[in-house]
Amino acid sequence: MSSKSGEDAVGARRNGNPAGRESYTASVIHATTILAVRHKDRTVLAGDGQVTLGTTVVKQGAKKIRRLYNDTVLAGFAGSAADSFALFSRFEAKLEQFRGNLERSAVELARDWRTDRLLRRLEAMLIVADRRTTFLLSGTGDLIEPDDGIVAVGSGGPFALAAAQALARHSALDARQIAEAAMQIAGDICIYTNGTLTIEEL
């Protein structure tokens, strides 16, 4: 989780992107790691706590994971804090509207994200999960359900995803242990991911 820098914005203008949207997306959305693991009838969502401003670490213990709808749904974000909280609020409202139906809520939020002009400006990604289903909601309004129940976003996402998939296939670890180990590996590799973890489990 990081902030857009003036240097990125200037570079974007020079490249013919006056809004600086590509640089903003790259610098904000990718500077964190969120991992979801659904394995052996357990669902775990894990996120690191690092917040960066440009190239400076300004916070070590941010909480990027939340429990929603009477603790039956987990949600985690990668992106700017303000935009992510706005999406949390929208998603929580959808859960209330559809009485905790995760799939319907995610579909409706993705639809709004595609069609609502204000939502389209939000720079964030969400992973949402319950005991049965996991979804990734992207900044373009895409809705993705991973085949194996394991998905990750952020700059350390590919490292966490690879580690979690390998551990799920070739170890006897449970979902929480897989998430902890995979996040530690991501933190060792990605400079925008630290070892201060928030882990929630269903």
The HSE-up count of residue 114 (CA atoms within 13 Å, CB side) is: 9
Is 98 in contact with 91 (CB distance < 8 Å)? no
Residues composing the chain: 202
25 catalytic residue (yes or no): no
Residue 144's H or E segment, with its range, is strand 143-144
Contacts of 81 (CB under 8 A, 6+ apart): 1, 51, 62
Contacts of 134 (CB under 8 A, 6+ apart): 36, 38, 43, 127, 128, 145, 146, 149, 150, 151
| 3-class secondary structure per residue, 77-142 | EEECHHHHHHHHHHHHHHHHHCCCCHHHHHHHHHHHHHHCHHHHCCCEEEEEECCCCEEEECCCCC
The span from the CA of 1 to the CA of 33, in Å, is 9
Candidate list 32, 43, 134, 198, residue with the active-site label: 32
User: Which positions are annotated as active-site residues?
Assistant: 32
